[in-house]
Structure 1
Amino acid sequence: MPLHDPDHAQDANPLRAEQTHLAESRSALTAMRADVEALDISDVTGNWVNAKILAAEIDNRIKALADLSHTPLFFGRLDYLHAPGVEQAEGAEGEQFYIGRRHVHDAHGDPMVIDWRAPVSQPFYRASRVEPMDVRLRRRFGYTGGELTAYEDEHLTDPAEASTSSKLLQTEIERPRVGPMRDIVATIQPEQDEIVRAGIGGTVCVQGAPGTGKTAVGLHRVAYLLYAHRERLARTGTLVIGPNKSFLQYIEQVLPALGELQVKQATVDDLVAHVTVRGTDPAERARIKGDARMAEVLRRAVRSGIRMPKEPIVVVRGSRRWRVPAYELEELVRELMERDIRYGAAHEALPQRIAHNILVRMEESGEAPDDRVQDAVARNPAVKAAVKGVWPKADPAKTVLRLLSDAEFLAECAEGILTPEEQATLLWEKPPRSLASAKWSPADTVLIDETLDLVQRTHSLGHVVLDEAQDLSPMQYRAVGRRCSTGSATVLGDIAQGTTPWATASWEEALTHLGKPGAPVEELTRGFRVPRGVIAYASLLLPTIAPGLAPATSVRESPGDLVIRRTSAEELDAAVLAACHDALGHEGSIGLIAADDRIAPLAAALESAGLPYLAPGEETSAQARLTLVPATLAKGLEYDYVVLDEPAAIVTGEPDERTGLRRLYVALTRAVSGLAVLHAKPLPEELAAGPA
């Protein structure tokens, strides 16, 4: 398809017409914002609470209507053969729609830009010559600094037009990555769009190789669901879960750019932050704590406090004494145990059950008690004392503390579940004297969260996006699953990038732990970010780290720059600095990725050389485009050029070689345009077949 720009005289008039429509659309958006700003809500609500809520909604609406000068208001146009959904006379022309990030209408309410999520916009992503979806022409627009400078037409129903790849689409995909992650709303591919527009009723799992856009797909799916089911999700809520704070900072601008301001973001650690984390676990102890078997151990621990009653209850009301025998109390307790309702709910229900038993006796004796009497009996000191003895309250943190401190209690709860060796590994070497002195680890907080849910139900959201999911333990999956037990989820990840000792072996297993067994697994293998040469080099590791996965194929026309250079140990730092200088000669962001224990010496070298650098998640600028990235924080991030320091150190920095090679695979696939690998030690043998 030909690319039209101002250098072609015959294209000037159509381009000017499109530029005029852009200017008019921006004016219409400004007017829409002004209309909202002019709303007078002083006498609309009946109280100050509703007034504040309405004012906040209006403020969010104003923010959503902001005109971002460097963000194209629309990026495409669809010319239909017929008006969608309308019968037309033969020969009548179909409608024309401009597709953009948000809806814009004129003073009469007629649309000037259609939201990319609207049904009428779907053919922009899915129409093809084989399946034109009633589209006569698809037009893409090219922008420079927010100004419309070119367009490209594809006549889907014209057999005479040759089918060629889109230059504008390729240019957008390969545009330098400066600053935080951008939306991909202008470049969504058909296989990605199918996932984005999947219904809210079911969970979707996306296995995606590096650069296939799985994170962007998950974020755009949230934006689509908020458009299609706004009222429902406004009640139930949405959440994006990422692996770390750096990752969340990197993606935090995507949804606001699409006009969605209310989606919360968190890490798994944020979700389970019931206590202050001050300790760490060795890998084996953390693995056991993250094992799904711990759920039953905790369930036993919570219920260990239940005691069968030995004495009857005698309730005195006025001159009458009402007696409930011990065997009837035991029947009530066993019934609640068999129903397996949450421990806290049963604790609240038991006094009401006892009170009901007494009310039956009152009625049999000729009295006519009502609900107020039942409530009074349930609060009677004798009833409260009996409940405290047979079904006492449970404190989740204290329960976990006892489990990890008391060998006999742990053995009782873990019998037949954990081996004696595993139990010994779980126990704290020096048990804390109190909750306040406990040095909780991240894995402990997940156990407390599980225990809390055994006591009281965790609030469920309408939809959760879980990114980099391959690194979660079974117990972490359960923690996330509780947050969407009555909702749906989008699970994103790559088995080959699992770098924790408990990384999931299969998505089927992970989805079962999440509470969404049988959810479909979609695989993305077409790469849009990583250059061909780079992804091919990194894929040499796949037979070792993920034998069942097919390598990604890159759609990028440029193979990318790939440099692999060996140097001496004494000259390694200097070679790394030289590679950073070379990368800074190009446009875009630069990531210097190294093993965690190499970060400090490299930081000192950069400072001595006068090279400013950022920490992961910090926004790049004209003054600082180089980010120093520990290998353990590289997952999910991307840079135009990556300088990779000493791959062998990244491999040996992990507990085992396979995990180390997976960490290296992550580091190798962060590059968008070029990769320079500097090493003094021999490369892993899997990469021996790569470029010399």
Structure 2
Amino acid sequence: MGAARRRAYSPGGNTVSAPQTPDPTGPLSRERAHLTASRSALRAMREDVQSLDIRDVTANWVNAAVLEAQIEGRIKALADLAHTPLFFGRLDYLHAVGAETAGDAEGGTGERPPPEGAYTTLYIGRRHVHDGDGDPMVIDWRAPVSQPFYRASRKDPMDVGLRRRFGYTYGDLTAYEDEHLSDPAEAATSSKLLQAEIERPRVGPMRDIVATIQPEQDEIVRSDLGGTVCVQGGPGTGKTAVGLHRVAYLLYAHRERLARTGTLVIGPNASFLHYIEQVLPSLGELEVKQSTVDALVATAVEVRGTDPAPAAVIKGDARMAEILRRAVRSHVTMPAESLVVVRGSRRWRVPAYELEEMVRQLLDRDMRYGAARDALPQRIAHSVLVRMEAAGEAPDDRVQDAVARNPAVKAVVKSVWPPVDPAKLVLRLLSDAEFLAAHAEGLLTPDEQKTILWEKPARSVRSVKWSPADAVLIDEAGDLIARTHSLGHVVLDEAQDLSPMQYRAVGRRCSTGSATILGDLAQGTTPWATGSWAEALRHLGKPDAVVEELTAGFRVPREVIAYASRLLPAISPGLAEVASVRESPGSLSVRAVPRPAPDAPDAADAADTADAPDATDLDAAVVAACVESLAHEGSTGLIAADARIPVLAEALAAAGMSYLSPGEETTADARLTLVPASLAKGLEYDYVVLDEPAAVVDGEPDERTGLRRLYVALTRAVSGLIVLHAADLPEALREG
């Protein structure tokens, strides 16, 4: 499909929007016709799958159930979402692209083989679509031939003559924009459609960025499955989206392998997971599981309690892993007596010193406790078989298995290598001072041991109010006893907030697979937040992972990120400041709410409360700022210190303003969310009203953590930020 030069959208631009009376033979009409035909082809693909009759191809009900589930998943993946563009770009190659490159590479998902022939024009979209003859009408964005859409430039056009981007309004194709990469006479300009897509108002959950992936992001997305990648990215750099799109790419490129081994996305909390949960389904990936670290490890016990920060820090320290290892191995005792195995009329004796040698050999191999326990009876049985053979018998494997199950052998194994319950082990460790001291010697000081010991020991595992940190310890103990199942790939977001023991828990889930680690050291807000990615990756068990840094910001306006970055020297010295590509003058407003005048009736009361702000005035100003923000299109987040949330909730209710809680989906009629600062991480809103920065800082156990929490809150806005304060701002944010 050829492409003529288009009239300008603005001086120097190359964007064409739909005229009031479209030309039925013009380029825009032809592109719309291709969209209509592609949707029809997708519908036909879905109908083909729906018409399959599994009764003729399955031998039993198990196969039928499996095939039926696969077909249902395929039908869902082929759904045509009305307001989601089926394709968002087009590439016109200078030379024909082979069909083997242009065809779908989903392998094993039911697609027909790629057709013969070659193509010069390809449409790039969220999934592969072919017509009745098998010719591709839309190419999956993950296919190799789609890569130039994201990476081609005038310096390296990658054999692309024309790159066309499409603009949509509620699912209707309304504009297009051309770049003639091989034409030196055409001036390079920024993409207005790309900018418009990035700045599109946020209503509802997080959406994919498949149409706006940048070259540096694409390199990370398409990195190989075999390697672990750690992405350091400041606010608005798209690290979360990059991680999710990498999962989608890996499932495309390695579908059969990951179908066997599994994938998992780990987020900081349920609200965050709810916010991102639609990204992968919008890309056709329905089988990726999501979890928080707390939910991942809390399988053996119910978490009902919390730890004071000092105790949580120690429980999350990597030294606890060695303490648990010592505690588990302490259950092994050396045999004191010989073993006698009776078989028929014969008695076979294994002396105590030989049993002890077997036990020491297993301990020296540092096997998992349960695996070594399972190996011990077989070793004993082998010793008995050696004696039987020396006596002229010819025992086989069945005899060895029978000896291993002999009651006398079982009794010895039970006494020497008893079973260990992970939860009971941790219960004893945290409630028995002598037991803890014996295994923490040289690792924890007496004061540290006292900090994690329970004041009132629990009677049983069920009666304990386990904390999240306790559940991680139980998970570690469980892995010391039996190996944790490893997945093929794990994505860990907001990783900077994990403790060393939590990193170990995640690392166990991808010990034989790979991982994508996402985070920002400047946004670490837990008392145990990691100090460096090298340290974090070592605890994760992936010390050789590649660390990539994203510094180009596409979400937060330049004025807003520059204001928030004033905090960087105090919270994360040496970390690169995000360079926002979005110029949005007037996107930041910092407003002081006046204190009561000195002659006001309540001035004396205000003085007696250490210059406390007049909460009523501040609350009214916050409500007014929310009304102002809601006058714009898109979502508004009111972020405040956790302690201020009830007060602001009352103020909003008194003003007749309804609001959502984090995790609830915004709609056209419900666009205001009241967000505790502790839950703001990872979320984004078109407009943010930030209440009392000093209160956000004071709500944390120390100033540095408080400033990091404030940095997070300041960087949640996509279009505009209003900061309201009655108390003094933190020093780094003050003018001058």
TM-score range, shorter chain: over 0.9
Deviation at residue 228 of structure 1 after TM alignment:
0.2
One-letter amino acid of the counterpart of residue 28, structure 1: A
Deviation at residue 374 of structure 1 after TM alignment:
1.0
Deviation at residue 307 of structure 1 after TM alignment:
0.4
One-letter amino acid of the counterpart of residue 668, structure 1: L
2:68 matches 1:55: yes
Distance, in Å, in 2 between the alignment partners of 1:559 and 1:421 is: 54
Distance, in Å, in 2 between the alignment partners of 1:676 and 1:325 is: 80
Q: Is the 8 A contact 1:461 1:483 kept in 2?
A: yes
One-letter amino acid of the counterpart of residue 439, structure 1: K
Unmatched segments (≥5 aa) in structure 1: none
One-letter amino acid of the counterpart of residue 237, structure 1: G
Matches within 5 A, 1:226-625: 226-273=251-298, 274-559=300-585, 561-567=587-593, 568=595, 569=614, 570-625=616-671
Q: Is the 8 A contact 1:565 1:679 kept in 2?
A: yes
| Aligned with 1:79 (options 92, 106, 114) | 92
% identical aligned pairs: 78
| Aligned with 2:36 (options 23, 31, 49) | 23
Distance, in Å, in 2 between the alignment partners of 1:113 and 1:84 is: 14
**2:609 matched residue in structure 1:** none
2:230 matches 1:217: no
Matches within 5 A, 1:120-131: 120-131=145-156
> Secondary structure of the residue that 2:722 maps to in structure 1?
strand
Q: Is the 8 A contact 1:138 1:155 kept in 2?
A: yes
Distance, in Å, in 2 between the alignment partners of 1:352 and 1:560 is: 75
Judged with a 3 Å threshold, the aligned counterparts in structure 2 of structure 1 residues 59 and 321 are, in CA distance, closer, same or farther, namely: same
Deviation at residue 10 of structure 1 after TM alignment:
9.4
Distance, in Å, in 1 between the alignment partners of 2:381 and 2:17 is: 82
**1:491-536, CA deviations, whole angstroms, 9 ceiling, x for partnerless residues?**
0000000000000000010000000002111000100100011000
2:707 matches 1:661: yes
Q: Is the 8 A contact 1:81 1:94 kept in 2?
A: no
**1:306-365, CA deviations, whole angstroms, 9 ceiling, x for partnerless residues?**
101110000111111100000000000000000001000011110110011001100110
Matches within 5 A, 1:135-154: 135-154=160-179
| Aligned with 1:188 (options 200, 209, 213) | 213
Distance, in Å, in 2 between the alignment partners of 1:552 and 1:582 is: 28
**1:262-287, CA deviations, whole angstroms, 9 ceiling, x for partnerless residues?**
00000001110121111110101000
Most deviating of 110-119 and 431-440:
431-440
One-letter amino acid of the counterpart of residue 229, structure 1: H
Aligned-residue RMSD, C-alpha? 1.4
Most deviating of 292-301 and 8-17:
8-17
Q: Is the 8 A contact 2:98 2:119 kept in 1?
A: no
> Secondary structure of the residue that 1:81 maps to in structure 2?
strand
2:682 matches 1:636: yes
> Secondary structure of the residue that 2:485 maps to in structure 1?
coil
> Secondary structure of the residue that 1:571 maps to in structure 2?
helix
Distance, in Å, in 2 between the alignment partners of 1:245 and 1:681 is: 32
| Aligned with 1:114 (options 120, 139, 147) | 139
Distance, in Å, in 1 between the alignment partners of 2:149 and 2:669 is: 38
**1:7 matched residue in structure 2:** 19
One-letter amino acid of the counterpart of residue 73, structure 1: L
**1:525-548, CA deviations, whole angstroms, 9 ceiling, x for partnerless residues?**
100100011000000000100001
Deviation at residue 9 of structure 1 after TM alignment:
7.9
Judged with a 3 Å threshold, the aligned counterparts in structure 2 of structure 1 residues 562 and 644 are, in CA distance, closer, same or farther, namely: same
One-letter amino acid of the counterpart of residue 399, structure 1: L
> Secondary structure of the residue that 1:300 maps to in structure 2?
helix
Deviation at residue 436 of structure 1 after TM alignment:
1.5
Distance, in Å, in 1 between the alignment partners of 2:249 and 2:40 is: 26
One-letter amino acid of the counterpart of residue 503, structure 2: Y
Unmatched segments (≥5 aa) in structure 2: 1-12, 101-116, 596-613
One-letter amino acid of the counterpart of residue 7, structure 1: P
**1:172-223, CA deviations, whole angstroms, 9 ceiling, x for partnerless residues?**
0110001000000000000000000000010000000000000000000000
Deviation at residue 85 of structure 1 after TM alignment:
5.4
Q: Is the 8 A contact 2:236 2:555 kept in 1?
A: yes
Q: Is the 8 A contact 1:81 1:93 kept in 2?
A: no
One-letter amino acid of the counterpart of residue 711, structure 2: Y
Deviation at residue 43 of structure 1 after TM alignment:
2.4
One-letter amino acid of the counterpart of residue 62, structure 2: V
Distance, in Å, in 1 between the alignment partners of 2:200 and 2:23 is: 24
Distance, in Å, in 2 between the alignment partners of 1:450 and 1:6 is: 60
Q: Is the 8 A contact 1:537 1:687 kept in 2?
A: yes
**1:32 matched residue in structure 2:** 45
Q: Is the 8 A contact 2:89 2:164 kept in 1?
A: yes
Distance, in Å, in 2 between the alignment partners of 1:335 and 1:84 is: 61
Distance, in Å, in 2 between the alignment partners of 1:209 and 1:559 is: 21
**1:176 matched residue in structure 2:** 201
Q: Is the 8 A contact 1:210 1:527 kept in 2?
A: yes
Deviation at residue 607 of structure 1 after TM alignment:
1.2
Deviation at residue 435 of structure 1 after TM alignment:
1.1
* Equivalent pairs, count: 686
Distance, in Å, in 2 between the alignment partners of 1:94 and 1:244 is: 46
Q: Is the 8 A contact 1:534 1:559 kept in 2?
A: no
Deviation at residue 83 of structure 1 after TM alignment:
1.5
**1:605-638, CA deviations, whole angstroms, 9 ceiling, x for partnerless residues?**
1111111100101111122100000100000000
Q: Is the 8 A contact 1:4 1:11 kept in 2?
A: no
> Secondary structure of the residue that 2:412 maps to in structure 1?
helix
One-letter amino acid of the counterpart of residue 140, structure 1: R
2:69 matches 1:69: no
Distance, in Å, in 1 between the alignment partners of 2:425 and 2:332 is: 13
Q: Is the 8 A contact 2:99 2:119 kept in 1?
A: no
